[in-house]
Amino acid sequence: MTVEEIKKMLDEIGLPYRYHHFTQKEMKEVSLPILVWQAPGTSNFFADGQTYLKIKQLEIEIYTDEKDWELEEKVEGVLNEHGIAWEQTASEWLESESMWESLYEMEV
């Protein structure tokens, strides 16, 4: 999945998003909920001493004021529609940031 395809998929969710983080200035101008995504590495398939299939690790983080079950269902639905196997690996209140985080991890 290319960066352009990832962005197009995230557009379907309908929330503001950035790669890695929003700047402090942006956070003053945007309200929750927001999405942050990262591609922190790869989990490639190798054959004959070469990278046979490039597989990106993809993380999507949802930040909300309160736990938002409906938004999580929407994100999961978009991932399912794109045929992406996902895992929700965190869902917790971030006391220092006063916001809720839900983290999804997958390979694309």
- Residue 13 pLDDT class (50, 70, 90 cuts): very high
pLDDT single digits (tens) 64-79:
999 999 999 999 999 9
Q: What is the C-alpha to C-alpha distance for residues 37 and 21, in angstroms, rounded to an integer?
A: 8
Using alpha carbons, select from 34, 37, 82, 81 the residue that is nearest to residue 59.
Answer: 37
Share of the chain above pLDDT 90, in %: 100
pTM above 0.85, yes or no: yes
- 33-71 per-position pLDDT tens digit: 999 999 999 999 999 999 999 999 999 999 999 999 999
DSSP letters along 5-61, please? HHHHHHHHHTS-EEES---HHHHHH--S-EEEEEEEEE--EEETTEEEE--EEEEEE
Q: How far apart are CA 35 and CA 12, in angstroms?
A: 12
The CATH class for the domain spanning 3-46+53-107 reads alpha beta
